Structure 1
C-alpha cells in the first residue's frame, strides 16, 4: 500500500513538472525583462531576486517597479499590489473545489505558487488535482521566474551605462504593450483605462496627492464606477 502511494505521488509530481514546462519557458522572457528593468530602476541583485521569490507576481512586480521609480512609499506600493492580486483569492477558492482533500499546510504552500497560468493549467486538467501535482507544476513556474529574474539583472548590469539609462523607458513601453491588446478586445477596457488616467491626473495635478496614493485612488475609483455602471445597465435591461 505504501509503495503504491509513493508511486502515485511521484507520478503526480512528474505530471505537474511536465505540465509546467511550457509555463516555465513562457516566463523566461518576461522575468528576464523584469530583472533588466529592476537593474535600471536601482534595485540590487539580492533585492530583485528576493522580490521575485517573495512577491512572485509579474504584473504586480512591474507596477511596483514603476511606483518605486517615482519615489512612492512602501505602504502605497504594498496596497496597490494587494489590490491588483485580489483575484488570487477567487482563483484559490475555485481551485480548492477541484483539489483532493489534503493537509491544510500543503494547500497553503502550493497556493503560494498559483498564478494566472498555473491556475489555467490546473483548472483544465481532467479530474482532480493533488498536492504533488501542484508542487510539480508550481516548482517549474516558480523556479523559472526567480532564476530568470536574476539572470536578467546580471545581463542588465553588464550593459553599457548609456543603454542602462535608456532602458527606463522600456517599463512604460511594456505597460503600453500590455494595455493595447486589451483595448482592442473590449470597449469597456478603453473606458476603464481612460477613467483611471483622468482620476489619476486630477489627484496628482489638482489635488496634489502623492503619485503612489493617486494610483491607488484611481484604481479603486475607476473599478467602483465601472462596476456601478455595469449594475445599472443590467438593472435597466431586466426592467
Structure 2
C-alpha cells in the first residue's frame, strides 16, 4: 500500500492503493505503521508523501461510506471512523519533522483533509482540489472546516466548503491552499528538490520553528467535536440519505 524510500534525511512515501488511494481503516492502519518508524528516527528531517495513482487521494473509501449508510447504527460507526481520521491527521501534523505533500492529481474531501495536515503542499498546476461534501448533504468532517479556515481564513474556507468550488493547483496557490504550484511534468523533480533542500537545513531548528508556528493558531477541540456531531446529525436527514443514494446510483 505504501512504498518507503530512505533518501538520507528525507523519507519519501509513495501511496499505492489503487485506484485512487481511498481512505479506509486498512489504509489508516498501514500508514500508522509507516509513521511508527518515522517517529522513532532522529535522522529524518523531512517526510515527503506522494502518489503513483491518478489521484493524490480521492477521499474516504466510498464502499466503506456506503456500508455506514446501510447500517442501523451507521451514524455512530461513521463518527468512529472520522475520529480515526482526526487522530491520524493530528499525528501527521505533530510529527517531529517537516512534512511535504506532493499533489499530482485529485485531492478531494478526506484526501484534501489529509494534505491539509502536512506542513507544506506542492501541487501540479492542473491538479484538482476541493471539499465537495455539501453536495451529498455532509460536511468535511475530518478537520477540513478547521484546518482550511486556519490556513486560508474564513473567506476562502467558505468558498471551498459552502460553494463546493473545485480549484486547480494554480488557483489553490493563489488562495493559499498550497504553497507551490508547478507544471505537472515538473512536479516530481520540483518536489524532490524541495524536500532535499529542506532536509539539508538544521533538523533541530526546523522542529523548534514548527512547534512555534503551531502555537500561533492551535486547532480547536470544540471545532472537531462540532464536525463529529454535525456528521452524526446529517446522516439521519432524509435529504442527506437521498443525496447519497443518488450519488451511488449514478456511479453504478
After TM superposition, is the score higher than 0.5? no
Task: Please give the TM-score of this superposition, normalised by the length of structure 1.
Answer: 0.23
Task: Please give the TM-score of this superposition, normalised by the length of structure 2.
Answer: 0.22
Relative contact order (alpha carbons < 8 A, sep ≥ 6): 1 or 2 greater?
Answer: 1
Task: Mark the structure with the bigger radius of gyration.
Answer: 1
Specify which structure has the higher proportion of helix.
1
Specify which structure has the higher proportion of strand.
2
